[in-house]
Amino acid sequence: MSTISENLRVVEEGITSACVTAGRPRNSVQLIAVSKTMSNELIAEAITAGLIHFGENKVQEITAKQPAFHGQIRWHLIGHLQSNKAKKALPCCHLLHTLDSVELGRQVDRISGELGIKTRALLQVNISNDDAKYGLSPEDTAATLTELSNKHSQYLEIIGLMTIPVFEEDLEKTRRHFAHLRELRDHLAVSTGLPLPELSMGMSHDYQIAIEEGATLVRVGTSI
Ligand SMILES: *Cc1c(COP(=O)(O)O)cnc(C)c1O
């Protein structure tokens, strides 16, 4: 068995057992393989092992890797999007995880309209209020969502929230950050009437507790 398919089997078991613990169906969680350091050969191996959803931090990496795979991959942009890259990024992006300002959202809406596409996105929230460079503060998220909701954006659809919490030695602290993102989502869904079904949270070391706290999209790199 190749290393990737063996690693994938372990991650798959981890996802399944977290789903059982949480009493959630396995198909409520989508694994996104983070391929930011993977060569095309390794990505091809991962596709053979059954993966379709891949995450990249950089637009250039998606546009460079994409032609080799002829539409076999659904690309997730999980790194910061600079507005001058939006035109290149949006056509190849299955889901944008890192919308973090009204200004960027307006640009994404406008450019999607020009391209004749719809763009689905998540609002990135700096849930642990650390000094991370990117992400909305939890307090600003409601206003941003209202400003960018369907009434104002024809081509942009916000379908949930994403977070990268500050690293904690203690996984129970990380769990609290994940729970806060879920609570924020629940609160926003009620106050705005938008369904916001997706929660992108959890990486190699904490995807199981993320699933226990409601993650629907886990972004796993190192473990695969
Ligand atoms: C690299 C990266 C991941 C994957 O992290 P691992 O610890 O390698 O699983 C997930 N999310 C984002 C935003 C990343 O940049």
Checking phi first, is residue 197 left (phi over 0); if not, alpha (psi -120 to 50) or beta? alpha
Res 146: pLDDT: 96
Ligand 1 within 6 A of CB of 219: yes
* Residue 130 pLDDT grade (very low, low, confident, very high; cuts 50, 70, 90): confident
Residue 1 has pLDDT above 60, yes or no: no
Kindly state the average pLDDT of the residues 132-146: 94
Bridge partners (DSSP) listed for residue 199 = 161
In DSSP terms, 214 is beta-bridged to none
Q: Can you give the pLDDT at residue 152?
A: 84
> Does the beta carbon of 77 sit less than 6 angstroms from any atom of ligand 1?
no
Give the 3-state secondary structure of residue 160: strand
Minimal-distance CA residue to ligand 1 atom 7: 204
- Position 201 pLDDT exceeds 70: yes
Residue 222 CA, closest ligand 1 atom number: 8
How far is it, in rounded angstroms, from Cα 29 to Cα 199?
Answer: 10
The pair of three-digit structure tokens given for residue 75, joined into one six-digit string: 């690309």
- Per-residue confidence (pLDDT) for residue 60, from 0 to 100: 96
Shortest-distance atom of ligand 1 to CA 223: 9
d(CA 11, CA 8): 5
β-strand partners of 20: none
Q: Is 56 left (phi over 0), alpha (psi -120 to 50) or beta?
A: beta
pLDDT band at 150 (very low <50, low <70, confident <90, very high): confident
Average pLDDT in the 49-58 region?
97
**Hey, which of 161, 203, 204, 206 would you mutate to test ligand 1's pocket, going by the most ligand atoms within 8 Å of its Cβ?**
203
| pLDDT more than 70, % of the chain | 99
Which tens digit of pLDDT belongs to each residue from 56-72? Answer: 999 999 999 999 998 89
Q: Is the CB of 204 under 6 A from ligand 1?
A: yes
- Report which ligand 1 atom has the smallest distance to the Cα of 34: 4
Atom of ligand 1 nearest to the CA of 203: 9
Give the whole-angstrom CA distance, residue 123 versus residue 104: 11
Nearest to 60 by CA among 29, 41, 84: 84
57 C-beta closer than 6 A to ligand 1: yes
Q: Is 222 in the pocket of ligand 1 (CB under 6 A)?
A: yes
Tokens of 17: 């057992």
Residue identifier of the C-alpha nearest atom 13 of ligand 1: 78
Residue 84 per-residue DSSP state:
G
Taking the CA atoms of 108, 109, 111 and 112 in sequence, report the sign of the dihedral they define: positive
- Which amino acid is residue 221, in one-letter code? G
Q: What is the mean pLDDT of residues 94-109?
A: 97
